[in-house]
Amino acid sequence: MRILSVLLVIILAACSSMEDEVEVEVALPVCDFEYSRYQATVTGYCQEPAADLPESLDVIHKRITIKPLDEISEVFWFNKKMKYSLIKQEATAPLIFIIAGTGASYDSAKMVSLQKSFFQQGYHIISISSPTYANFIVNSPNTKYMPGDLAHDAEDLYKVMNLVWAQVQSEDEVEASSFSITGYSLGGAHSAFIALLDEEEQVFNFEKVLLINPPVSLYNSVSILDQYFDLRNNREASVAMFDEIFARFSNIYSMQRSSTFDQSSIYNLFKNAELTEDELKLLIGASFRMSSSDMIFAIDVSFNTGAITYKNHTIDKLESLTHSMQRASDITFGDYFDRAMLPRAQREDANITKADLIQRYSLHAIEDYLKASDKIYLVTSQDDIILQAGEVEYLQSIFAERAKIFPRGGHCGNLDRLSFVEYLQATFQGERN
């Protein structure tokens, strides 16, 4: 989860005596934390041994102009052009698109784990950020539909995939023998909607589609995450808990003999902090809130919605954004849904209700397709935190023998673990050329 990267950023950004690069992917033997679905979500399911994956990959970081650059606000000067990455095999090979999860970029830690697995299996890999990631939002020509509207997100992604595919063919001479698509979390749900769209458009004719820990209903999932960090009804307690967690980390750090931070001392920090279930939830909720703040700001700037920024105002690149960040912390996803997504959708069709939208932004909307299509696979955990009671059973019933449900792993906590990678190998094996 992001909190690990937050901790890393603390170290990387602030410290004066960095020794070796802190590497996120250092292979460690199993950890001895007490297991919970929340712990697995935050630190990864480290009780299971890590898979034997390449240490690093030759990633080609690419940029592509999607929306004319002068239409992108100066406050996003660093986000002009859409970023994505290509990892290529030497020869002709099958190609897989990977779509990132909510608020995540094409090179997030989870994306890297998946890239390593698929590269090992002989795939070319194109990694694309989530349509909820700021770089995607500000480069998308769409200013009509709110990110999270799965069918429209899929259209957006599909256009990007086409442009990107053309670019890597001409610039990097990639030759693909077939196409597949996958994505984790929200990116998993996107993959399913993209696969459906491709049935009509027939550009890629995907060989395999894999949904990794997808939400069943976007609304249900984010409602769960909203509750973890309840600033609206419980601000004082949340704020106090945050301070308490920091204080504990700080104490443990002062007792630690060395002042260095590396992977094992971060694990140590977590182990000794003995975070309670509520505290782990708070960290998950806070990290979700951080990415949704970034998303809301990018939408505000692109769509001129005026939720946390001044409407009809061009933000200068040196202007203070602190007030916007503070305002964003007060918005739950529920608010975003009620006050942004619903009114937008009603502008198109006045009769639409909230219940209709909740249905539309869920796998229920394309249930028949998912049931009937043999190429679509699902993998998730029995204890995935973003699934409500009954949703695992629902997935099982829809995907039947194409579903793999691991007993443990929380939300995407096992993407680099042994049994998960073995599952990927078994599922994608038939495609190796």
Partner 1 sequence: MPAFSNKCINYIPIIFCVLLAACSSVPKLESGAVAPIVELPEDREELGLLSAYNDPWEGFNRRMYYFNAKADEYVLLPIVDRYKQITPDIVETGLSNFFNNLGEISTFINSLLQFKFSVAGETFGRFTLNSTLGLAGLIDVATPIGFAEQNEDFGQTLGFWGVGSGPYLVLPLLGPSSLRDATGLVFDALADQQSMDVLGMKSDEELYLSLVNSIDARARLPFRYYASGSAFEYEYLKLLYKKYREIQVAR
Site for partner 1 in 272-291 (CB under 8 A): 290
Binding string, residues 320-339; x marks residues near partner 1 by CB under 8 A: xxxxxxxxxxxx-------x
Note every long-range contact of 333-342, with CB atoms under 8 Å and residues 24 or more positions apart, other chains counting.
333/222, 333/223, 333/225, 333/226, 333/292, 334/222, 334/223, 334/226, 336/146, 336/148, 336/292, 336/296, 337/148, 337/219, 337/222, 339/307, 340/146, 340/299, 340/305, 340/307, 341/146, 341/148, 341/149
Extract the runs of DSSP E, i.e. beta strands, from 154-289.
176-184, 208-212
Q: Site map for partner 1, 6-45, x if CB under 8 A?
A: x--xxxxxxxxxxxxxx-----------------------
**Token representation of residue 406:** 């691991």
Nearer to partner 1, 201 or 274 (CB): 274
Which of residues 34, 58, 173, 243 is near partner 1 by CB under 8 A? 243
Nearer to partner 1, 7 or 151 (CB): 7
48 neighbors 40 (Cβ within 8 angstroms): no
**Binders of partner 1 in range 103-132 (CB under 8 A):** 105, 129
Check residue 229 for interaction with partner 1 (CB under 8 A).
no
Supply 173's token pair: 């001479």
Instruction: Using the rule CB under 8 A, give the single segment among 145-153, 277-285, 296-304, 404-412 that binds partner 1.
Output: 296-304
Residue 297 is a binding residue for partner 1 (CB under 8 A): yes
What does each C-alpha distance from 366 to 87, 159, 216, 361, 417 come to in angstroms?
Answer: 31, 20, 11, 10, 30
From the list 4-12, 41-49, 185-193, 204-212, the region that binds partner 1 by CB under 8 A is: 4-12
> Binding of partner 1 at residue 58 (CB under 8 A)?
no
176-186 CB burial, b ≥16 within 10 A, e <16: bebbbbbbbbb
Q: Near partner 1 by CB under 8 A, which window of 35-43, 148-156, 178-186, 257-265?
A: 257-265
Q: Rule CB under 8 A: is residue 133 a binding residue for partner 1?
A: yes
Cα atoms found within 13 Å of the Cα of residue 248, Cβ hemisphere only: 16
Choose which of 35, 253, 303, 369 interacts with partner 1 (CB under 8 A).
253
Shortest distance (Å) from residue 416 CB to partner 1 = 19
- Please give the residues from 300 up to 319 whose contact with partner 1 meets the rule CB under 8 A: 301, 306-319
